[in-house]
Amino acid sequence: MPVELTCNHCNSSYSVKPSRADSSKFCSMDCKSKNSRILVNCGECGESFSKYKRRVNRSEKDFCSPDCKNKHWSENIAPTLESAGDSVSVSCDNCDGVFEKPQSHNNYEHTFCDKACHGEWISENRVGNAHPNWVEGSEKIYYGTNWHKHRRKVLRRDNECQKCGMSIEEHIEKFGQKPDVHHIKPIKTFDDKQKANKMDNLKTLCRPCHAEVESSSNE
């Protein structure tokens, strides 16, 4: 029998299956999206734009685009660094944005404008035998070079567990991380890991549902 809940965003009543009573918080995808984003003003052009609450920069300015971010750096930050004679202009290895950094740090192999870009670059380039901890014969932990890219796409496509309906935001709140992305046809059955990571072979599952699916497939 359906359970009546109140939407955390618009306060309207809606019905869900009993299995979703503990995890559901919003009556629609639109309400869920609106609740997770806020309007902030660009630190360069002043235009308002929508941004996920968890990504709002609490200590510095937020920017609506890489162009605004780079312009702010070149006009406001770079001159102060250059006057001290201790900075150089460099290009981010992930997004190609130009930024300033101390000259003493210019001997690093790679440069990134922030931690987000650093993390994205690592997920794309430090996998398989390119990972510093790679051991020959450990292919069972190698998911292919396109795995992280397709994982992000699947999470955006599904936006919730395809078995119980738990949303990404609910999963992060409950487990401290995004949901899992499951290979419908096991990756170990593929010689070419790239093919295993095709979008139609992937679906989003919460941690409990993923464990349940994996357990039943191994029986």
- Output 121-125 pairs: Cβ under 8 A, ≥24 positions apart: 121/93, 121/94, 123/148, 124/148, 124/149
Residues 207, 168: Cα–Cα separation, whole Å: 11
pLDDT value at 95 more than 60 = yes
pLDDT value at 103 more than 50 = yes
For residue 205, the model assigns a pLDDT of: 93
Question: How confident is the model over 144-149, as a mean pLDDT?
Answer: 85
Higher per-residue pLDDT: 90 or 204: 204
Taking a C-beta distance cutoff of 8 angstroms, is the pair 29, 35 a contact? Answer: no
**Amino acid identity at 119:** G
**The tokens of 217 are what?**
């497939």
* pTM reported for the whole predicted model: 0.40
Q: For the segment 3-34, what is each residue's pLDDT rounded down to a tens digit? A: 899 988 889 999 988 888 888 888 988 888 77
Taking a C-beta distance cutoff of 8 angstroms, is the pair 26, 34 a contact? Answer: no
For residue 137, the model assigns a pLDDT of: 45
Indicate the range of 8-12, 49-53, 81-85, 210-214 predicted with least confidence: 81-85
Q: What are the start-end ranges of the H helices in the chain?
A: 29-36, 66-72, 78-83, 115-125, 147-158, 168-175, 193-196, 207-217
For residue 125, the model assigns a pLDDT of: 61
Residues sharing a CB contact under 8 Å with residue 18, sequence separation 6 or more, in sequence order: 1, 2, 3
Indicate the range of 9-13, 52-56, 126-130, 160-164 predicted with least confidence: 126-130
CA dihedral 54, 59, 60, 65 (to 10 degrees): 0
For residue 138, the model assigns a pLDDT of: 42
Residues 65, 73: Cα–Cα separation, whole Å: 13
For residue 58, the model assigns a pLDDT of: 59
Residues 19, 33: Cα–Cα separation, whole Å: 22
For residue 136, the model assigns a pLDDT of: 46
Question: How confident is the model over 175-184, as a mean pLDDT?
Answer: 88
Q: Domain limits of the chain?
A: 144-219
At residue 67 the predicted structure's pLDDT band, cuts being 50, 70 and 90, is confident
At residue 131 the predicted structure's pLDDT band, cuts being 50, 70 and 90, is very low
pLDDT value at 81 more than 70 = no
